[in-house]
């Protein structure tokens, strides 16, 4: 037996036959038919753009007859006016330079004035000598794709605008914060006869108001008051307490310059606020300077603040302890103790906030600490308050991101070569 | 800043020869001159460049403030002329660069010997008693076309376009890059070009001028060429049998011949 046709024992043969039939049908689909009814637009133009050939698909899309297009219109005539400029300034030069160009988004104008968003690709056909003969162009309907892309473009524009707005707002906020921050600090330190004063404020975050503060101001003809401190927390609420603290201390000092009395007044004011539900407190050192002869007497009191450091002319550096001073504002009554010292030529009193001593240094992120600060101070040439602050500013900068808190520095020193402004200029 | 690298200045042709400064228009870069530059360099010192923001120029030198006005582009031209100490310059400006050349020659009159304007238009938008060929809406459509075609280019092409002379393998990827520009830059250049009105500047031209137009140009139609020719006293008008806005690409031989003829006979 030699079965010719499909038998029940060869089911796969049956399949092969139906596939054959499909292939046959495909082969009968002539190249011309494929060209005319392809799911994309085809057109061929002369080098000047005159349309020489166009398929039925594209004519249908455009709503035009072959007669009104072939030999009568140029490819550019099918584009929108803006698209024509784009064609002449980008598409045509690129096609000329490269011999081909693909996937360019252009809008075609239909006969009824509508738009056909398309993706256009072209190649230049050349003769055997390489001279360009004609341009073959394929046009894909990109309507759905284009609306999606326009959606993306719109979103991108919105995002760009939002980013611009955010950057603008941020710059404005930073500017406002900088102004506000500087209003919490004296614009310049007043001159104190026979003394040199220097300060520095290190901001870790320009986006947030810091809570550190300091001041130096005259009490009467012979004495000056100073303070430096730190309100817990950051931001506008902390800044409000900083402002309150600063003006309270200034007013209290004029009323009674005794350091313990000034801190007690501040404690009363801050505690009232604390008890009202704003649990903010501060630590501060408040003191009075009294130049006497070529020395300066210092009396200061501390409320929970790191002790002042006294740098002596001979290279010693010692903390001036004020034991028992409580955080200012948390209790209705708080005990403060005062301490005294005398600064001679070459001595400097240094006040600082704990951003300095609590900086994290080295690979192990260890606390910088009181001991290291004292050792650093001992190694400094004791040439004056400004030099001390300059050296410490350099130290702060060297901490890099290990310094995560704002830091205030105030140095009050007696220069070794004291000027005598009272004597005036010799005549 | 080094002007030569800022504007990607390239020089060819005989040293000491008469200077032809070729300035590209809106769209592409100095590659637009590739078919005519070799011919011109046979008898001229040919200087080409990219405006800041185009081609391989230094994009960090771009600012909207400067390049939002044609005077900013004219400053590029004057700065190049001064940096290279070019004298007796025959300025060849394509498209918007024709008018940029007018502004540059007015700013540094002692440097320029003649102007060759290819497809010039002092105003693209129609107005009372003037036909530029476009409406304001048409220009919006152009901006749309620009945006639609940057979707694929902006992110992927930017590092390539910004110039990587030390990475020649990127040359393979340069398809379409002659005309690729940072979208923000292109938008500003397009607006500056097509919304400009420099008709009032044509009267300032005091050097011999050639107006070179194409017989079929949608961007600079023949009536605009006639307008420019009439507004510049003593100018010469030559119409090339060419279609499109870029005869230096579509009819390079005729374009080069017209440039050589005009620039070689006058100075």
Element (H, E) at B99: helix B96-107
Mean pLDDT of A12-21: 68
Nearest to A291 by CA among A189, A389, A191: A191
Domain encompassing residue A89 = 18-141
Chain B CB within 8 Å of residue A101 CB? yes
Are A254 and A219 contacting, i.e. CB atoms less than 8 angstroms apart? yes
For residue A14, what pLDDT band results from cuts at 50, 70 and 90? low
Order of all β-strands in the sheet with A212-218: A212-218, A224-231, A282-292, A295-303, A338-343
A216 strand-pairing partners: A226
What confidence tens digit (pLDDT) does each residue in B62-78 have? 999 999 999 999 999 99
A119 strand-pairing partners: A105, A140
Does residue A214 lie within any of the structural domains? yes
Cα gap A227→A215, rounded to integer Å: 5
Instruction: Single out the residue in A108, A141, A174 at which a domain terminates.
Output: A141
What confidence tens digit (pLDDT) does each residue in A95-136 have? 988 888 888 889 999 999 999 999 999 999 999 988 899 999
Does residue A10 lie within any of the structural domains? no
Mean pLDDT of chain B: 88
Same domain, yes or no: A209 and A335: yes
Cα gap A232→A282, rounded to integer Å: 6
Same domain, yes or no: A202 and A121: no
Count residue pairs from A and B with Cβ separation < 8 A: 106
Order of all β-strands in the sheet with A317-320: A196-202, A407-413, A348-352, A308-311, A317-320
By percentage, how much of chain A surpasses pLDDT 70? 93
Closest chain A C-alpha to B267 CA, distance in angstroms = 30
Same domain, yes or no: A227 and A347: yes
Lowest mean pLDDT among A111-120, B86-95, B168-177: B168-177
Lowest mean pLDDT among A51-55, A144-148, A290-294, B117-121: A144-148
Chain B CB within 8 Å of residue A96 CB? yes
CB contact under 8 Å between B142 and A85, yes or no, is yes
Does residue A5 lie within any of the structural domains? no
What confidence tens digit (pLDDT) does each residue in B226-235 have? 999 999 999 9
When CB atoms are compared, the residue of B26, B145, B218 closest to A76 is B218
pLDDT computed for residue A156 by the predictor: 84
Q: How many domains does chain A have?
A: 2
For residue B154, what pLDDT band results from cuts at 50, 70 and 90? very low
Mean pLDDT of B131-154: 78
Residue A245 sits in a domain of what CATH number? 3.60.40.10
Order of all β-strands in the sheet with A132-141: A51-54, A41-46, A132-141, A115-126, A100-109
Cα gap B210→B94, rounded to integer Å: 12
Does residue A66 lie within any of the structural domains? yes
For residue B189, what pLDDT band results from cuts at 50, 70 and 90? very high
Nearest to A43 by CA among A76, A16, A1: A76
CB contact under 8 Å between A89 and B245, yes or no, is yes
Catalytic residue among B54, B58, B217, B229: B217
Q: Which residues of A touch B179 (CB under 8 A)?
A: 89-90, 93-94
Element (H, E) at B110: none
For residue B176, what pLDDT band results from cuts at 50, 70 and 90? low
What confidence tens digit (pLDDT) does each residue in A214-257 have? 999 999 989 999 999 999 888 888 888 999 999 999 999 999 99
Residue A55 sits in a domain of what CATH number? 3.30.450.20
Domain encompassing residue B149 = 3-265
Q: Which residues of B touch A113 (CB under 8 A)?
A: none
What confidence tens digit (pLDDT) does each residue in A50-90 have? 999 999 999 999 999 999 999 999 999 999 988 899 899 98
Q: What is the pTM of this model?
A: 0.65
Helix (H, G, I), strand (E, B) or coil at B42: coil
Same domain, yes or no: A231 and A379: yes
Same domain, yes or no: A132 and A203: no
Same domain, yes or no: A120 and A256: no
Same domain, yes or no: A331 and A396: yes
What are the φ/ψ torsions at residue B65 (nearest 5 degrees)?
A: -60, -45
What confidence tens digit (pLDDT) does each residue in A349-376 have? 999 998 888 888 888 888 898 898 999 9
Neighbouring C-beta atoms of residue A154, cutoff 10 Å = 10
- The answer on pLDDT for B110 being more than 60 is yes
What confidence tens digit (pLDDT) does each residue in A125-156 have? 999 988 899 999 999 999 888 888 888 888 98
pLDDT computed for residue A13 by the predictor: 53
Mean pLDDT of A195-208: 87
Catalytic residue among B95, B97, B121, B177: B95
Instruction: Single out the residue in A116, A141, A166 at which a domain terminates.
Output: A141
Same domain, yes or no: A306 and A372: yes
Residue B238 sits in a domain of what CATH number? 3.40.50.1820
Chain B CB within 8 Å of residue A134 CB? no
| Cα–Cα distances in angstroms (integers) from residue B211 to residues A339, B35, B81, B227, in the given order | 92, 20, 22, 10
Same domain, yes or no: A112 and A26: yes
Chain B CB within 8 Å of residue A147 CB? no
- The answer on pLDDT for A419 being more than 60 is no
Q: How many domains does chain B have?
A: 1
Same domain, yes or no: A90 and A216: no
- The answer on pLDDT for A17 being more than 80 is no
H, E, C per residue of chain A: CCCCCCCCCCHHHHHHHHHHHHHHHHHHCCHHHHHHHCCCEEEEEECCCEEEEECHHHHHHHCCCHHHHCCCCEHHHHECHHHHHHHHHHHHHHHHHHCEEEEEEEEEECCCCCEEEEEEEEEEEECCCCCEEEEEEEEEECHHHHHHHHHHHHHHHHHHHHHHHHHHHHHHHHHHHHHHHHHCCCCCCCCCCCCEEEEEEECCCCCCCCCEEEEEEECCCCCEEEEEEEECCCHHHHHHHHHHHHHHHHHHHHHCCCHHHHHHHHHHHHHHHHHCCCCCCEEEEEEEEEEECCEEEEEEEEECCCCEEEECCCCCEEEECCCCCCCECCCCCCCCCEEEEEECCCCEEEEECHHHHCCEECCCCEECHHHHHHHHHHCCCCCCHHHHHHHHHHHHHHCHHHCCCCEEEEEEECCCCCCCHHHCCCC
């Amino acid at each position: 037996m030699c079965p010719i046709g499909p038998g029940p024992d060869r089911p796969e043969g049956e399949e092969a036959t139906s596939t054959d039939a499909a292939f046959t049908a495909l082969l009968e689909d002539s190249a011309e038919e494929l060209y005319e009814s392809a799911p994309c637009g085809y057109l061929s133009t002369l080098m000047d753009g005159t349309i020489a050939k166009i398929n039925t698909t594209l004519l249908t899309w455009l709503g035009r007859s072959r007669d009104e297009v072939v030999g009568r219109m140029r490819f550019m005539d099918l584009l929108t006016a803006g698209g024509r400029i784009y064609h002449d300034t980008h598409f045509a030069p690129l096609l000329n330079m490269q011999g081909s160009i693909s996937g360019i988004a252009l809008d075609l104008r239909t006969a009824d004035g509508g738009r056909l968003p398309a993706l256009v690709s072209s190649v230049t056909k050349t003769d055997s000598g390489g001279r360009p003969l004609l341009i073959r162009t394929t046009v894909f309907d990109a309507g759905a794709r284009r609306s999606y892309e326009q959606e993306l473009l719109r979103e991108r524009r919105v995002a760009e605008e939002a980013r611009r707005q955010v950057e603008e707002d941020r710059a404005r906020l930073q500017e406002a914060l900088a102004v506000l921050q500087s209003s919490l600090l004296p614009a310049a330190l007043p001159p104190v006869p026979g003394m040199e004063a220097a300060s520095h404020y290190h901001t870790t975050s320009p986006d947030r108001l810091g809570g550190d503060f300091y001041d130096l101001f005259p009490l009467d003809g012979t004495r000056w008051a100073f303070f430096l401190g730190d309100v817990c927390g950051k931001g506008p609420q902390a800044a409000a307490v900083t402002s309150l603290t600063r003006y309270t201390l200034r007013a209290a000092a004029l009323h009674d310059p005794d350091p313990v009395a000034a801190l007690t007044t501040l404690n009363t004011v801050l505690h009232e606020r604390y008890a009202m539900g704003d649990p903010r407190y501060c630590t501060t050192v408040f003191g009075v300077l009294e130049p006497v002869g070529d020395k300066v007497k210092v009396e200061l009191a501390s409320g929970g603040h790191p002790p002042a450091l006294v740098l002596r002319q001979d290279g010693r550096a010692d903390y001036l302890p004020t034991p028992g001073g409580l955080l200012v504002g948390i209790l209705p009554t708080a005990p403060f103790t005062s301490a005294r010292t005398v600064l001679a030529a070459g001595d400097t009193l240094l006040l600082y906030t704990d951003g300095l001593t609590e900086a994290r240094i080295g690979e192990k992120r260890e606390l910088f600490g009181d001991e290291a600060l004292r050792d650093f101070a001992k190694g400094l040439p004791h040439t004056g308050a400004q030099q001390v602050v300059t050296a410490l500013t350099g130290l702060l900068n060297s901490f890099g991101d290990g310094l995560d808190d704002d830091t205030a520095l105030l140095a009050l020193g007696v220069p070794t070569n004291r000027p005598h402004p009272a004597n005036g200029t010799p005549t | 800043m080094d002007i030569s690298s800022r504007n990607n200045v390239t020089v060819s042709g005989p040293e000491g020869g008469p200077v032809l400064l070729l300035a590209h228009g809106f769209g592409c870069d100095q590659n637009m001159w590739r078919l005519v530059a070799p011919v011109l360099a046979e008898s001229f010192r040919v200087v080409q460049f990219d405006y800041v923001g185009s081609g391989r120029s230094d994009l960090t030198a771009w600012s909207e403030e400067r390049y939002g006005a044609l005077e900013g582009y004219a400053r590029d031209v004057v700065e190049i002329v001064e940096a290279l100490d070019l004298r007796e310059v025959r300025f060849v400006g394509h498209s918007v660069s024709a008018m940029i050349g007018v502004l540059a020659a007015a700013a540094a009159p002692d440097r320029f010997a003649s102007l060759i304007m290819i497809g010039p238009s002092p105003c693209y938008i129609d107005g009372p008693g003037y036909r530029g060929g476009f409406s304001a809406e048409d220009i919006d459509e152009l901006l749309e076309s620009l945006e639609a075609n940057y979707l694929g280019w902006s992110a992927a092409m930017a590092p390539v376009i910004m110039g990587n002379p030390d990475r020649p393998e990127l040359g393979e990827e340069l398809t379409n890059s002659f005309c690729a520009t940072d979208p923000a830059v292109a938008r500003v250049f397009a607006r500056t070009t097509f919304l400009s009105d420099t008709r009032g500047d044509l009267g300032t031209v005091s050097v011999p001028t050639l107006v070179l137009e194409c017989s079929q140009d949608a961007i600079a139609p023949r009536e605009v060429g006639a307008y420019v020719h009439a507004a510049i006293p003593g100018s010469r008008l030559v119409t090339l049998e060419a279609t499109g806005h870029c005869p230096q690409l579509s009819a390079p031989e005729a374009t080069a011949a017209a440039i050589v003829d005009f620039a070689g006979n006058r100075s």
